[in-house]
Structure 1
Amino acid sequence: MSSALRTDDNHEAAVSRPVAPIIRDDAEAIQVARALAPDLAAGAIERDQKRILPRAELDLFSSSGLWGITVPRAYGGADVSFATLAEVIATISAADPSIGQIPQNHFGVVEALRVTANEEQKRRFYRGVLEGRRFGNAFSESGSKHAGIFDTKLVRDGEIYRVTGQKFYATGALFADIIPIAATAEDGNAYLVFADPKAPGLTVTDNWSGFGQRTTASGAVTLDHVAIAARDVVPAYLGYDQPSANGPVSQIIQAAVDLGIARAAIADTIDFVRTRSRPWVDSGRETAAEDPYTIAAVGDLVIRLHAAEAILALAGTSVDAAIAEATEQTVAAASLKVAEAKVLTTEIALLAGNKLHELAGTRSTLQQHGLDRHWRNARTHTLHDPVRWKFALIGNHTLNGVLPPRHPWN
């Protein structure tokens, strides 16, 4: 097997990572993720505190074959259940949620290709994904009226296209082999265009300064008349003009990251209470782990965690059904179930990060333990889309039969 990815029919420059193995089924995907997680967890606190970008760890992650597990079987992939993908992302995010977040848009693009790309594009891009290529992200813009508007422009220039604009929240772009860019074409529709990160006029700036998810490098991408080959232009708008699971796919991965944060925070709470915390003076107990109020609070956290896990798994099954047969009803059902998962994973991630310090005590705030990262990561990541709108979507459907709008945040 070659030590570098093939480039015979790709415009991207060769990368030096080994070709990734192809994972064959759901059980193998989960097994690989669980085996990989301890290696990604090592050094996570130091990376967060010093903002050390996880380049080596990300190479390890993408070289594991996990970035290719949703490629359709017709193109050589395992096409795992989205319940499995959610578990994989949650497992990695419990180790380091910045690493867990980085491939979110990669998997979103893999699914978008299924719905909107032509056969040549599917064969070419899916082959690269299976070999270990990483898609980045140049979608969101901080200056547009709202998240669904792309001021970035795509114009025809003879036999090629050119894209110009300014992107932010570009998670994964700094580490990408290929950068998919969302842009509005002259026909008024949104397209995905695929660019080489080293293309003239394309600049990735690591200026992410959020207090959480500090090592995602979710900074800016500047595009100055970047040349795009016609065969690298995909009509992304088709994924929302017609029923598709593109929106639920994007959202379920976000929920999985939050679930992973919650798992890590609860695990650290239990460990700290057992090994370092002191019992309260009025408890009459010998250890903090015997404090009845602490016991009850941990029980509450575990119940809420299990509820989030269960709904996330059901959401994955709903997404699978929408992919298998995309109708107004199946896509709406997937959006609604993923919305439920998003509510529960958001709530348990924030609660677990906060309760950790309440139950573990003042010494848990010492910098040497790095435990504040859980709440910071949860608070930052859960801001991607307002969970208050998830309650409204679910309630409006329940009361009035209104289907959720189709876009990347539903």
Structure 2
Amino acid sequence: MGGRVSPLSVRTIMSTLESPSAEAPLPRRPDPARVQRIAGDAQAIAAAHALAERFAAGASERDRQRLLPWAELDLWSESGLGAITVPREFGGADVSYATLAEVFVILCAADPALGQIPQNHFGVLGVLREIGTPAQKARLYGEVLAGQRLGNAGPERRSANVRTILQGTTRLTATPDGLRLDGQRFYSTGALFAHRVPTRATDDEGRAVQVWAPRDAPGLTVVDDWNSFGQRTTASGTVTFRQVPVDPQDVLPIWQLAERPGLFGPTSQLIQAAIDQGIAQAAVADTLAFVRERARPWVDSGLEHATDDPYIIADVGRLQIDLHAAHEVLQEAGHTLDALAAAPSLDAEASARASVAVAEAKILTTRIALEASEKLFELAGSSSTRAAHNLDRHWRNARTHTLHDPVRWKLHLLGNYHLNQVLPARHSWN
């Protein structure tokens, strides 16, 4: 793989990335000797807090200048957090779903863009758990335990042939020279920083497969053309595959996931909800700090301090209630998944209960992320809008990330389930 890119080099590289034709550098492989082995839930939470403390210090500046977090992700790899969902029989901690969600809350309260980058890492590990062969699990889990990161080549852009995120023209084709992968994907969070880039493709039999392509495979190109106003450093841009050679052992039959109940979709959604909860917590924390330290009471209030304003006090109380409620429902969803995973078998109704639980959490975390990041300015006052404070990053991040999957369809999922007993469709967004 390529050599390590220093933060200074990243700034130099990023200054040339105004054009969407700039190919991203390769990540370095972590030194396995420096990668920690996390043993359980408490250690995972402690590691997340330790990283969050370091990540928070530079979060605003990374957002402001769009400095990609190469060095921070090296620390993430060395922390051992990437392997916390690896089953114990393969050497991992196999932490609870509730702990996985809390790890994302902690990291995303510090820096939600950096915290979002590993979302697909854990998403594809969930797919591997459900449909990987024993040999595939041993090999790929081993790479993760050594600190390697997994990205994702996301959905294709909308076109006449690609009307939904589950459709695509990416193909895995058998040739006289072996399997070859061709296609172009977008919204590829984590791919730029990854050592493997799993992607969805269609094989010669018309079935959906997931191909775990090595990041340095010939014909695989990652372009850093992500230019959203929020979640700016996730680098969720374009991945192109041009006759990429594929080892048959790097292919997972994801068509099987639609045919049987599972938890891969709810796991992905649990992480998405946790990211929004982290954004909300950061926004509320900055609201309290600004009101205490900088805000002035309104001229007609007759008060000396903004913290004595009864309207501000009431709104802060409402924010805390909504924040707490969202967090509790998120944890409840994690515990639901834990209980279902511990059961002897998982039927269609159990899989549906998992999707329902995370939909409830996603609705509440979406709402509090948007509410808290907007209410910040109302309570803190006009001085909070100064660019020097960069507090708008909370709303920009919340608005961007909560569009990942429309919350209106979560409400539909819940209503249809409770009213009409319709089980949710099985895919990564449920």
TM-score by length of 2: 0.91
Task: Kindly report which structure 2 residues correspond to 1:33-52, keeping only aligned pairs within 5 A, or say none.
Answer: 33-52=48-67
The match for 1:179 is 197
Instruction: Determine if the alignment matches structure 1 residue 316 to structure 2 residue 331.
Output: no
Match 2:299 to one of 281, 293, 297? 281
* Mapping of residues 262-273 of structure 1, within 5 Å: 262-273=280-291
Tell me the secondary structure at the aligned position of residue 240 of structure 2. Answer: strand
Q: Percent identity?
A: 56
Question: Are 2:82 and 2:144, in contact at CA under 8 Å, matched by a contact in 1?
Answer: yes
- Partner residue of 2:374? 354
Alignment coverage as a number of residue pairs: 400
For the aligned residue pairs, the C-alpha RMSD in angstroms reads 1.5
Measured in 1, the distance between the counterparts of 2:262 and 2:249 equals 23
Counterpart position of 1:341: 361
In structure 2, what is the Cα distance between the partners aligned to 1:132 and 1:311?
Answer: 31
Q: For the residues of structure 1 that align with 2:404 and 2:132, how far apart are their CA atoms? A: 26
Describe how 1:9-24 pairs up with structure 2 within 5 A: 15-19=29-33, 20-24=35-39
* Equivalent residue number for residue 254 of structure 1: 272
Give the alignment of 1:188-337 within 5 angstroms: 188-324=206-342, 325-337=345-357
1:51–1:214 CA contact under 8 A, matched in 2: yes
1:70-85 map, 5 Å: 70-85=85-100
Supply the distance in 2 between the matched residues of 1:14 and 1:28 (Cα, whole angstroms). 26
Question: What are the equivalent positions in structure 2 for 1:17-32 lying under 5 Å apart?
Answer: 17-19=31-33, 20-32=35-47
- The aligned counterpart of 2:384 is 364
Out of 219-228 and 232-241, give the one that drifted further: 232-241
Match status 1:124 vs 2:139:
yes
Q: Distance in 1 between matches of 2:171 and 2:259?
A: 20
Residue 323 of structure 1, CA deviation: 2.8
CA distance in 2, matches of 1:35, 1:393: 37
User: How does 1:58-207 map onto structure 2 within 5 Å?
Assistant: 58-143=73-158, 144-158=162-176, 160-207=178-225
Q: Note the C-alpha offset of 1:239.
A: 2.0
Quick one: structure 1 residues 96 and 337, their matched pair in 2 at CA, closer, same or farther if it must change by over 3 Å?
Answer: same
- Measured against aligned partners, the alpha-carbon deviations of 1:31-86 in whole angstroms (never above 9, x if no partner) come to 11112211011111111011010111111112101111001111111111111000
| Structure 2 partner of 1:380 | 400
Retained in 2: the 8 A contact 1:244–1:323? no
Q: Which deviations, in whole Å up to 9, do the C-alpha atoms of 1:360-396 show, x marking residues without a partner?
A: 0000011111100000000000001000000011011
Which letter does structure 2 place at the counterpart of 1:225? Q
Equivalent pair of 1:141/1:167 in contact (CA under 8 Å): yes
- Residue 8 of structure 2 aligns with which residue? none
Query: Structure 1's 14 and 354: CA in aligned 2 closer, same or farther, altered over 3 A?
Result: closer
Query: Does structure 2 conserve the Cα–Cα contact (< 8 Å) formed by 1:159 and 1:230?
Result: no
| CA-CA distance at 1:159 after TM superposition | 6.3
Letter in 2 for 1:333: R
Between 155-164 and 336-345, report the one with greater CA deviation. 155-164
Over 3 Å counting, the alpha-carbon distance change for 1:322 and 1:240 in structure 2 is farther
Q: C-alpha displacement at 1:246, in angstroms? A: 0.7
Cα pair 2:30 2:148 within 8 Å, conserved: no
Q: Which amino acid in 1 is paired with 2:130?
A: V
Taking structure 1 as the reference length, the TM-score comes to 0.95
Matched to 1:151, the amino acid is T
Q: Cα deviations across residues 123-168 of structure 1 (Å, max 9, x unaligned)?
A: 0001111111100101311132111112211111246311101100
Report if the CA contact (8 A) 1:321-1:330 is conserved: no
Distance 1:307 1:349 in 2: 12
Contact 1:17 1:59 in 2 (8 A): no
Cα deviations by residue, 1:234-279 (Å, 9 ceiling, x for unpaired) = 1122222210001001111000000000000000000000000001
Contact 1:244 1:322 in 2 (8 A): no
The farther-off stretch of 225-234 and 341-350 is 225-234
Structure 1: gaps (5+ residues): 5-11
1:277-334 deviation digits (Å, cap 9, x = unpaired)? 0011122211111100000001101100111001101111122233333211111111
* Contact kept in structure 1, 2:30 and 2:78, CA below 8 Å: no
Single out whichever of 229-238 and 381-390 deviates more from structure 2. 229-238
Question: Which letter does structure 1 place at the counterpart of 2:196?
Answer: I
Quote how far apart the aligned CAs of 1:202 are. Answer: 0.9
Question: Which consecutive segments of 4 or more residues in structure 1 shift more than 4 A?
Answer: none
Cα separation, 2, equivalents of 1:310 and 1:119 = 36
